[in-house]
Structure 1
Amino acid sequence: MDTFLGRSNLIIFCARNADQKFKYYIDLQFLLDKAAKVLEKGAETPIHSQNPLEKLAIGLQKLRFPQDSNKTKIVTRVGREEVFALWEDEFLKVTQWLTYFNEFQNLPQMLQLEIVKRVWKVFSRLEKLATTAIARRQKICDENMIVAFIEKDLVLCDLKTLDVDLSWCTKYTFEQLKFFNKIDFEKQADALVQPMLDLQPTDVELSYMLCQLCFHQLGKHHQGVLLEISEQFQDSLSNHLHDYYVNSLGIKNYVNRIASMMKINNKIQNFVYHDRVKQELMRVFDIFHVKYSHPDLFQNS
């Protein structure tokens, strides 16, 4: 990642020992330690708002579109360093964003980190979708491109021409692995960007969509305390969304807006399920030769 972001990497990539079956070991502990420090520090900028969703929206705006951003990069090749940079940015972004959510901040830090570990990938799907929709609407990128802010850089890549190097994690090429992926990321983007362009959600609506998607996935795959927390958060945020429509926007009939929002989220959930099935199939066929220090980071991806 030194060549991608210009600084040291928090994700450590190591060769295996001779007596181990896997080929490479990926240590994510430094990334988790960094996230724990972010959670301990809390929100970088104090934001005062009676509606927690509006506070989350302001925090989201700060994270997605940094004011001192002045560099645009077009990525034509993605390999190990770029993937690690993306993971690190995604994980720390959702960690920082949730520090703007008071109810989340009231949880014990260990529980906060467990939630982040289980929602960061699905958060990133929707957040990058929304960023790409804005970029396409503003003619910043072509229709076949996806867009993301990675730290303070605006990164663009063309899905049709992107060169993907997977030699660091498998002996198979990206083209060969398409056998397992009948619905690839390009098709997912095509199915989701247009509905997002049609909806044009406000930052508050997008914050609600992100929360609903994350906490629904959390409750769907976990029982006990995490399920209870996810249900409490979803109920609370639904009330705050109602308050936003009625008191901030003066809108009483917002059913169609919510239906459009949930349609997008449901599509993402369907793609997540498809990808989980694909990952299980790849595991059965022993496609990847890496081992993670914390495999639970990728269980809900």
Structure 2
Amino acid sequence: MDVQFLIDKAQDILKTGLETPLYMPNSLEKLAMGLDRIRGRSDQSTKIITKVGKEEIFAFLEDDMSKVAKWLTYFDEFQLLSDTMQIDILKGLWSVFGRLERLATTAIARQQNLCGENELMTYIGKDVVMCDRKNLEIDLSWCSKYTFEQLKLFDSHDSDKQLDMLIQMVLDLKPTDVELAYMLCQLCFHQVGKKYQGAIQEVTDRFQEVLSNHLHDYYVNTMRQSKYANRIASMMKINNTIQQCIYRDKVKSELFRVFDVFHVKCSHPELFSHN
């Protein structure tokens, strides 16, 4: 399975950068604006999916990779890195970004009564994509001898219950765009730094320090809120829960490897390795 096109498209987006200059008080608020721009609008055409197979999975992958690359063009400090380091970081964080971003999208949709408690919502290109988990068929015949239901036996946790809990945590927090941008940065840069360590971890640690200072400025100067420890704690609780899910997925992927669950070979397996 050749996925070089995903990397090529992401590299083109990173090299192109922002179409027009954007002036914001700091990098975090610029990333928040970028997050708003890369996400779709609820008034776009809605596509209901009842089956996910190879075509749909590739559409998700391409959209996720492109979306993250576009978002990172709003981060001035990231744009100063070498092309090689930029693409390495992108490879390490793109799937992590998607976890939280889709959670937030579904939470917002539920808050606005756009989807029900069994429904999930995301944006793919120009479409609002929705699905009902209770009536969704996952076809893995193109990549595995096992069915999706059989693969659930490898999981020691109820993934649906975990997902609902996380969505409810986001609903309870009701993060602003700036807070959500910070959560995405903290989650992504922490995970990619832990994965690569060395020079990349030094860079991602520096990013997190800069963005933490920007978040403080946002609370104090924009929100006029000097006491914000409880909100930070709630944000980190969500991120820590997602990190636990990532770790469980890593353990599960090792089991998949041992039992030779997937028969498709990938040209860039590092894109799909769990941190």
Partner of 2:163: 189
Q: Deviations over 1:19-48 (max 9, x none)?
A: xxxxxxx11111111111100000234210
Alpha carbons 2:92, 2:195 under 8 Å: kept: no
Distance 2:49 2:206 in 1: 40
Superposed, 1:155-194 pairs within 5 Å as 155-194=129-168
Q: Deviations over 1:120-142 (max 9, x none)?
A: 00100000000000000111001
Q: RMSD across aligned C-alpha pairs, in angstroms?
A: 1.2
Q: Deviations over 1:199-229 (max 9, x none)?
A: 0000000000000000010111222111111
* Mean Cα deviation higher: 218-227 or 255-264: 218-227
Letter in 2 for 1:190: D
Partner of 2:33: 58
* CA shift for structure 1 position 181: 1.8
Distance 2:91 2:159 in 1: 22
Partner of 2:204: 230
Q: Deviations over 1:83-125 (max 9, x none)?
A: 0100110111011000000000000111101100000001000
Letter in 2 for 1:199: L
Q: Deviations over 1:131-165 (max 9, x none)?
A: 00000011100101111000111001111221000
Is 1:200 the counterpart of 2:174 in the alignment?
Answer: yes
* CA shift for structure 1 position 230: 1.1
Q: Alpha carbons of 1:283 and 1:190: their partners in 2 closer, same or farther (altered >3 Å)?
A: same
Distance 2:180 2:19 in 1: 21
Alpha carbons 1:132, 1:147 under 8 Å: kept: yes
Partner of 1:20: none
Aligned residues: 275
* Mean Cα deviation higher: 182-191 or 128-137: 182-191
* CA shift for structure 1 position 187: 2.3
Alpha carbons 2:110, 2:117 under 8 Å: kept: yes
Distance 1:184 1:295 in 2: 27
* CA shift for structure 1 position 174: 1.0
Letter in 2 for 1:243: D
* CA shift for structure 1 position 175: 1.1
* CA shift for structure 1 position 189: 1.3
Is 1:35 the counterpart of 2:10 in the alignment?
Answer: yes
Alpha carbons 1:51, 1:244 under 8 Å: kept: no
> Which of the numbers 90, 114, 120 marks the counterpart of 1:146?
120
Partner of 2:24: 49
**What's the TM-score, normalizing by structure 2?**
0.97
Distance 1:285 1:30 in 2: 29
Distance 1:80 1:184 in 2: 24
Alpha carbons 1:119, 1:300 under 8 Å: kept: no
- Off by >6 Å, runs of 4+ in structure 1: none
Q: Can you give the 5+ residue segments of structure 1 that lack an aligned partner in the other structure? A: 1-25
Alpha carbons 2:2, 2:267 under 8 Å: kept: yes
Partner of 1:21: none
> Which of the numbers 90, 95, 99 marks the counterpart of 1:125?
99
Distance 2:119 2:270 in 1: 30
Distance 1:146 1:248 in 2: 32
Alpha carbons 2:14, 2:69 under 8 Å: kept: yes
- SS of the residue corresponding to residue 146 of structure 1 reads strand
Partner of 1:112: 86
The structure where helix makes up a greater share of residues is: 2
Distance 2:186 2:30 in 1: 16
Percent sequence identity is: 59
- SS of the residue corresponding to residue 140 of structure 2 reads coil
* CA shift for structure 1 position 66: 4.7
Q: Deviations over 1:52-82 (max 9, x none)?
A: 1111111100111259x62101110000000
Partner of 2:50: 76
Is 1:266 the counterpart of 2:240 in the alignment?
Answer: yes
* CA shift for structure 1 position 299: 1.3
**What's the TM-score, normalizing by structure 1?**
0.89
> Which of the numbers 258, 261, 273 marks the counterpart of 1:287?
261
- SS of the residue corresponding to residue 135 of structure 2 reads coil
Q: Alpha carbons of 1:66 and 1:143: their partners in 2 closer, same or farther (altered >3 Å)?
A: closer
- SS of the residue corresponding to residue 122 of structure 2 reads strand
Distance 1:182 1:82 in 2: 27
